[in-house]
Amino acid sequence: MSLHETVRTTLRDRILSGALPVGAALPTTAELSVEFGASRGPVRQALAALATEGLISTGQGRVPTVMRAPFAHAIDDFFSFSAWVTAMGRVPGQRTIELALRRPPASVAAALGVGGDTRAVDLVRVRSIDDEPVMIERSTFVEHVGRLIFDFDPDAGSVFTALLDRGVSLEHGEHTINAVAANDQDAAALDVAVGTPLLRVHRLTRSAAGEVIEVADDRYRPDRASLIVHNSRTRTAPAPSAVRRTTTEGSR
Amino acid sequence: MSLHETVRTTLRDRILSGALPVGAALPTTAELSVEFGASRGPVRQALAALATEGLISTGQGRVPTVMRAPFAHAIDDFFSFSAWVTAMGRVPGQRTIELALRRPPASVAAALGVGGDTRAVDLVRVRSIDDEPVMIERSTFVEHVGRLIFDFDPDAGSVFTALLDRGVSLEHGEHTINAVAANDQDAAALDVAVGTPLLRVHRLTRSAAGEVIEVADDRYRPDRASLIVHNSRTRTAPAPSAVRRTTTEGSR
DNA sequence: GAGTGGTCTAGACCACGTG
DNA sequence: ACGTGGTCTAGACCACTCA
């Protein structure tokens, strides 16, 4: 692990453990440099990361202060339902409704960046926490990645990590969030009435090279799951939070 | 503007203008250093920021590549409805339904971190784009900030920027996102039927010092607005995206 | 005014991807 | 093998906060 990662995870652990309670001041960058045997560069990199996580508050001339404790130390688990649930100490579950290789509708093909006559792999699953259904996930993968799913059991665990293990690059996510009424399939899968408001997340997953790998439509029972987004004003941070708001009706 | 900010905004403008089309390779850090007369430090800081914005894709040994064009150059406008709409070239509007100084319910008082007998300022507004209602916003401010709102017209424009101008520190936002059915007031304000699914964003705004300034409940018509969240896997970036997912039923 | 974080430089080494 | 980005150092200056 690189030096700035060590500093970052160490400090996060101290906040999580209560050694650094909410409101407490962190050591100065100079002190941290001595403690970790590092120069100020890596230390500041670690603090900047914690600031954009929303754990600490920084500012010129001000001593960094603990703002809140992390739910868990997981961060980028946005990508993996299983990792997210596991990090919370709950038990994730999944039941596959459908796994098929077929020609996607034109809109999905366009999102995937493939021609209309190219086949793709559809995967529909119900995801659960402690055996209670929480989300219905409709994914479409580009063919060369989707074919890998036929080689393992999607009910066994995380498709995301299984694909990573097979060398698939899944680096960037673009999530468009809004609300929809449950349709017949949603209602049956999530055990709610038709028309119940659901939290809908439309996901576009890209490789490191920028190629679209997956297009997905996830629908959550809002009484069982929410999304939390933290952000700080740009100000001085090396990297801003990656949040943007948009209208649906073709804003550009 | 600091050097890394100059590099960042310049590159973003080039992507937005099409000078750097999607898929194009950016100049190497060495070349950018020469161009801007900077060392690699600020250049890398700028590239890292663009990567967490989701505009470019980076990686060890790989040349940074343009992934997508920004909707607009606005970034942290998550905080300001007016700034967001304006950045899209639309016309924001607002109509105040209520502005009152009163004792908040216990749950809100707790979120604000004040005692149950302390008064706070409630502000309920309908926000619109091009005269079409898009969102109903129910805010509660701590008293010493909320009192400032009585000094200006909340229908005139952005309360957010007006408060900033008066020296109020609004730095961190924590947004919890889910879906709800429209109640009577929602339905009337947004011109939808009662029970229509709405996108609900519960917002906690904090000062730089970590004090809670505002608690808000924003409800969007999902056919007119969505949220977009970009994130990349932690990997090498100096700062991760600040996104987290959570269950609603008291996960911690 | 003292001390803090924010910024920048110049140089170095390493890990990785591409040709 | 080469060039790339990723990381780190040592030192410097500035802007800001706080006592």
Q: Which residue of B has its CA nearest to A69?
A: B252
Q: Which residues in range 26-55 of chain B are in contact with strand C, contact meaning CB within 7 A of any of its atoms?
A: 37-42, 45
Q: What is the pLDDT of residue B85?
A: 83
Identify the pLDDT of residue A245: 56
Q: Do B49 and A240 touch (CB under 8 A)?
A: yes
What local confidence, expressed as pLDDT, does residue B43 receive?
Answer: 92
Among A19-33, A128-142, B128-142, B155-169, which stretch is predicted with the lowest mean pLDDT?
A: B155-169
- Would you say residue B192 has pLDDT above 70? yes
CA distances from B249 to A71, A228, B2 (A): 14, 14, 44
Which nucleotide minimizes the distance between its C1' and the CA of A63?
C4
The gap between B39 CA and D3 C1' (Å) is: 18
Closest CA to B229 of B181, B161, B175: B175
Give CA–CA dist B207/A143, Å, rounded.
48
Q: Residue A252's pLDDT is what?
A: 35
Is A252 within 8 Å of chain B by CB?
Answer: yes
**Is B94 a residue whose pLDDT tops 90?**
yes
Whether residue B65 and residue A209 make contact (CB cut-off 8 A), yes or no, is yes
Question: Token digits for B139?
Answer: 């805010």
Q: Which domains are assigned to chain B?
A: 3-66 (1.10.10.10), 77-220 (3.40.1410.10)
Counting other chains too, the contacts that A3-7 makes at CB distance below 8 Å and 24 or more residues apart are A3/A36, A3/A38, A3/A42, A4/A38, A4/A41, A4/A42, A4/A43, A4/A45, A4/A46, A4/A49, A4/B238, A5/A46, A6/A36, A7/A32, A7/A36, A7/A38, A7/A42, A7/A43, A7/A45, A7/A46
Looking at residue A78, its pLDDT comes to 65
User: For residue B104, what pLDDT is reported?
Assistant: 94
Do A30 and A40 form a contact (C-beta atoms < 8 A)? yes
Tell me what pLDDT residue A162 has.
87
* pLDDT for position B218: 95
Sequence-distant (6+) residues with CB within 8 A of A107 are: none
Q: How far is CA B202 from the centre of its chain?
A: 12
Task: Enter the pTM of the model.
Answer: 0.86
- pLDDT at residue A246, rounded to an integer: 55
- Scanning B148-207 for CB atoms below 8 A from A yields 170-181, 195-200, 206
Q: Do B178 and A230 touch (CB under 8 A)?
A: no
Low-confidence ranges of chain A (pLDDT < 70): 71-78, 233-252
AA identity, residue B161: T
How far, CA to CA in Å, does A52 sit from each of A87, A236, B241? 20, 11, 7
Instruction: Give the least confident one: A179-193, B73-87, B88-102.
Output: B73-87
A24 touches chain B (CB under 8 A): no
What residue spans of chain A are helical by DSSP H?
A: 3-17, 29-36, 40-53, 81-87, 106-112, 143-149, 159-165, 184-190
Among B residues 68-97, those touching chain A with beta carbons less than 8 Å apart: 68, 71-72, 74-79, 84, 88, 90
Query: Which pLDDT score, from 0 to 100, does residue A20 have?
Result: 92
Which residues neighbour B143 within 8 Å (Cβ) at sequence distance 6 or greater?
A: B101, B114, B118, B119, B120, B121
Chain A residue closest in CA terms to B130:
A247
Our CA-based measurement puts residue A202 at a distance from the nearest CA of chain B, in whole angstroms, of 9
Query: What would the pLDDT profile of B209-238 be if each residue is shown by its tens digit?
Result: 778 899 999 999 999 988 877 777 654 334
Burial of A121 (0-12, 13-18, 19+ CB in 10 A): buried
> Closest protein residue to D5 using CA and C1' atoms?
B60
pLDDT of residue A74: 42
Spacing of B196 CA from C11 C1' in Å = 62
Longest dimension (CA), chain A: 61
Residues from chain B that touch A53, judged by Cβ atoms under 8 A, are 240, 242
- Higher pLDDT residue, B85 or B145? B145
Residue A25 in contact with partner chain B when CB distance is under 8 A: no
3-class state of residue B216 by DSSP: strand
Sign of CA dihedral B231, B232, B238, B244: positive
pLDDT tens figures, B20-54: 998 889 999 999 999 999 998 999 999 988 887 77
Q: Quick one: which of A139, A163, A161 has its CA closest to A151?
A: A163
Return the nearest residue to C2, CA–C1'. Answer: A61
- pLDDT bin (cut points 50, 70, 90) of residue B247 is low
Q: Assign B158 a pLDDT band (cuts: 50, 70, 90).
A: confident
A47 touches strand C (CB under 7 A): yes
Mutation site, B178, B206, B218, B220, interface A, largest A CB count within 10 A = B178
* Residue/partner pairs of A14-19 with CB below 8 Å, 24 or more apart: A15/A55, A15/A56, A15/A66, A15/A69, A15/A70, A16/A69, A16/A70, A16/A72, A16/A73, A18/A69
Look over chain B and give the mean of its residue pLDDT values, rounded to a whole number: 84
| Residue B169: exposure state from Cβ atoms within 10 A (0-12, 13-18, ≥19) | middle
Tell me which residue in B178, B220, B244 faces A222 most closely, judged by beta carbons: B178
Q: How far off is chain B from A200, nearest CA to CA, in Å? A: 8
Residues B50 and B42: beta-carbon distance below 8 Å: no
pLDDT at B219: 97
| A34: number of Cβ within 10 Å | 11
d(C-alpha A15, C-alpha A21), whole Å: 6
